[in-house]
């Protein structure tokens, strides 16, 4: 096999080969093109991004001061986690006023300026819509609980205690895992799938749905570009409250997800809101089957734009020695289910997950950068809209707290308390949470090597990862080979090669335990992506003659061309 001269490869990479690629003459023939399919979404967790006023909590002024950074990434859309008024039982996912800004985050003037300045930079803004539940401090709930006859009573799910105890429902965040909370004021129980301070809204009440549509219009009329809909698969409920079989809580999506009338509600929302604006919609979760997901996003049904499924998150959640073929099977299965119609999201991190490099890569100093770049290559070369979580572009890693006192996340804290109260193994719990806790993904963004990583001049609300002295944006900015600059290159490559957005996907050497290999093909143009998921040299059989392939990008200065990949190597080739 003829080897491509290394000098050629080096020149090719320095010149960012592929970035000057002529768009295929036939892009007009791509059916069903949409801006939200071609966009790269950057998820911004405001509490941890940048503190503008020194109180230790990220805020809108902080984001405003970093808009040029966001622009420099090449991303198209920012998904902003909730910034609405909230007592912060669950970091903003407990909203007490949907038309106001959380005090810690700033004012509506700050928001208006943020939106305007993002749009000036051609960055779209997608907001979180959290309407499975509100805060118990929302005026609706205060009214609702005040008496059984209050006009807002039916905004939530109540069960009168004289009927006995309601059918058990499991709660994600409750210390007793009980989703029914007794309220002596009206001698009734209310439902809360999440914390006690997050009572579930009653979507079966048409007034509630109208309230939600009006809230959506309020923000859309300001000019925002879409919604990520929190816990949306749970909103519809069977209010006859049937009993679920023992162990249902181990398969909660099956029992809580895709309740009766969900599709009617989504179609109503689409008619009343989405169809009237140029916007994108993505719901968190996609049911428990591929058909569930398709039913949400089949364009003929007029519900949502794209599915955001979690099946990939389960692979290796607790196990660093997860099976790569299992990982490949999940993504290959989802790709083929949506190859003809519908659309999915591709992500490896968000604010509910540990850091992607600690989960699927290798966060040791030797391999952190290489494996971060490799995972970034995966996200940016799959079919589906990439959702990239802030901080992953620096290769941020899990903080791995040792004591419960360091955690701030209600999910981790309440599970720990539950375990302690029931005599469980708290030491094992703490060990497991070094890998899986949500706080691993929430530590403040590492801007530079100054005190508190340049995140705040105050005391940060959550400890900062001590590796910030070397892992930070300022240091990476100055290093052409940094994770940050690699991210920019691969985003640019995706934007300039529609084959990476729309091209057909074919997995190769599927059972290979170390390497993920696939092609993307569109109108005769074929790209090959090779990703070594292991910290050792690994061989892959693709059948392609790589010696003639053009290298578009790689995470080593001398990308492999003989099918033997270096540890955590990632290469994107254009096959002639």
Binding site residues, ligand NOJ, CB under 6 A = 90, 93, 130, 194, 230-231, 284, 351-352
* Cβ atoms within 10 Å of 569's Cβ, excluding its own: 24
CB of 478 to ligand NOJ, least distance (A): 34
CB within 8 Å of 90: residues ≥ 6 apart: 173, 194, 195, 197, 198, 410
Contact 515, 533 (CB under 8 A): yes
Closest by CA position to 370, among listed 554, 511, 101, 152: 554
- Give me the residue whose beta carbon is nearest to ligand NOJ: 93
- Whichever of 153 and 228 has its CB closer to ligand NOJ, that residue is 228
- Whichever of 409 and 476 has its CB closer to ligand NOJ, that residue is 409
CB of 130 to ligand NOJ, least distance (A): 6
- Hey, what are 512's tokens? 């290979």
Q: Which helix (H) or strand (E) holds 61?
A: helix 60-64
CB of 472 to ligand NOJ, least distance (A): 26
- Please give the C-alpha separations between residue 241 and each of 195, 236, 260, in angstroms, as whole numbers: 19, 12, 12
- Whichever of 93 and 180 has its CB closer to ligand NOJ, that residue is 93
3-state secondary structure of 37: helix
CA distance 117 to 110: 10
CB of 90 to ligand NOJ, least distance (A): 5
- The overall longest dimension of the chain from CA atoms, in Å, is 82
- Whichever of 231 and 235 has its CB closer to ligand NOJ, that residue is 231
- Hey, what are 483's tokens? 């994770």
- Whichever of 194 and 401 has its CB closer to ligand NOJ, that residue is 194
Q: Which helix (H) or strand (E) holds 142?
A: helix 139-146
Q: Which stretches of 185-323 are DSSP H helices?
A: 206-222, 252-256, 262-272, 290-297, 311-314
- Whichever of 124 and 133 has its CB closer to ligand NOJ, that residue is 133
- Whichever of 76 and 90 has its CB closer to ligand NOJ, that residue is 90
CA distance 111 to 84: 10
Please say whether the dihedral angle defined by the alpha carbons of residues 359, 360, 365 and 369, taken in this order, is positive or negative: negative
Closest by CA position to 527, among listed 539, 535, 519, 538: 519
CA distance 444 to 466: 11
- Whichever of 229 and 549 has its CB closer to ligand NOJ, that residue is 229
| 59, 89, 94, 284: the active-site residue | 284
Closest by CA position to 462, among listed 127, 49, 93, 61: 49
- Please give the C-alpha separations between residue 205 and each of 39, 155, 157, 256, 317, in angstroms, as whole numbers: 35, 7, 10, 18, 37
Residue 230 annotated in active site: yes
As a dihedral over the C-alpha atoms of residue 530, residue 355, residue 389, residue 12, rounded to 10 degrees, the angle is -30
- Whichever of 200 and 476 has its CB closer to ligand NOJ, that residue is 200
Place of tokens 């048409």: 206
Residue 439 annotated in active site: no
| 59, 94, 128, 230: the active-site residue | 230
Closest by CA position to 389, among listed 436, 350, 331: 350
98 DSSP 8-state letter: E
Contact 194, 90 (CB under 8 A): yes
Q: Which residues are identified as catalytic?
A: 230, 284
């Amino acid at each position: 096999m003829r080897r491509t001269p290394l000098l050629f490869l080096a020149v090719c990479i320095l010149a960012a080969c592929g970035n000057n690629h002529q768009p295929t003459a036939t892009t007009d023939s791509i059916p069903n093109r949409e801006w939200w399919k071609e966009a790269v979404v950057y998820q911004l967790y405001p509490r941890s991004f940048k503190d503008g006023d020194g109180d230790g909590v990220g805020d809108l002024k902080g984001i405003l001061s970093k808009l040029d950074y966001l622009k420099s990434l090449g991303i198209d859309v920012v998904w902003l986690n909730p910034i609405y008024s909230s007592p912060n039982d669950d970091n903003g996912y407990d909203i007490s006023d949907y038309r106001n800004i959380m005090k810690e985050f700033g004012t509506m003037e700050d928001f208006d300026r943020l939106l305007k300045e993002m749009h000036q930079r051609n960055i779209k803004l997608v907001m979180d819509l959290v309407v499975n539940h509100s805060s118990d401090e929302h005026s609706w709930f205060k009214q609702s609980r005040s008496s059984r006859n209050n006009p807002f009573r039916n905004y939530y799910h109540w069960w009168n205690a004289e009927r006995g105890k309601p059918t058990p429902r499991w709660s994600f965040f409750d210390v007793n895992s009980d989703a029914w909370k007794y309220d002596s004021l009206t001698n009734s129980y209310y439902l809360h799938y999440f914390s006690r301070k997050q009572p579930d809204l009653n979507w079966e009440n048409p007034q509630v749905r109208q309230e939600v549509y009006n809230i959506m219009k309020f923000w859309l009329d300001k000019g925002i570009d879409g919604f990520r809909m929190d816990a949306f698969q749970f909103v519809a409920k069977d209010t006859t409250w049937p009993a679920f079989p023992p162990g249902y809580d181990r398969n909660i999506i099956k029992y809580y997800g895709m309740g009766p009338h969900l599709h009617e509600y989504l179609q109503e929302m689409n008619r009343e809101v989405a169809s009237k604006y140029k916007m994108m919609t993505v719901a968190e979760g996609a049911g428990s089957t591929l058909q569930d997901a398709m039913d949400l996003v089949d364009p003929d049904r007029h519900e949502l734009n794209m599915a955001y499924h979690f099946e990939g998150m389960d692979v290796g959640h607790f196990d660093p020695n997860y099976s790569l073929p299992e990982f490949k099977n999940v993504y290959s299965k989802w790709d083929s289910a949506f190859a003809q119609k519908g659309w999915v999201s591709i992500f490896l991190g968000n604010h509910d997950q540990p850091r992607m490099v600690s989960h699927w890569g290798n966060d040791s100093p030797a391999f952190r950068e290489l494996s971060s770049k490799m995972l970034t290559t995966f996200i940016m070369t799959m079919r589906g809209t990439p959702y990239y979580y802030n901080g992953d572009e620096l290769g941020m890693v899990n903080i791995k707290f040792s004591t419960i006192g360091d955690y701030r996340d209600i999910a981790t804290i309440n599970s720990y308390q539950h375990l302690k109260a029931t005599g469980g193994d708290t030491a094992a719990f703490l060990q497991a949470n070094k890998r899986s806790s949500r706080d691993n993904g929430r530590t403040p963004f590492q801007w530079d090597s100054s005190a508190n990583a340049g995140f705040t001049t105050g005391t940060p609300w959550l400890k900062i990862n001590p590796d910030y002295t070397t892992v930070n944006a300022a240091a990476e900015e100055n290093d052409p080979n940094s994770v940050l600059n690699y991210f920019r290159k691969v985003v640019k490559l995706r934007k300039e090669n529609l084959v990476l957005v729309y091209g057909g996907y074919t997995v190769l050497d599927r059972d290979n335990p170390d390497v993920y290999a696939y092609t993307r093909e569109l109108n005769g143009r074929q790209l090959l992506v090779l990703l070594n998921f292991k910290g050792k040299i690994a061989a892959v059989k693709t059948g392609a003659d790589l010696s003639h392939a053009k290298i578009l990008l790689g995470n080593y200065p001398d990308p492999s061309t003989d099918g033997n990949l270096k540890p955590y190597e990632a290469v994107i080739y254009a096959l002639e």
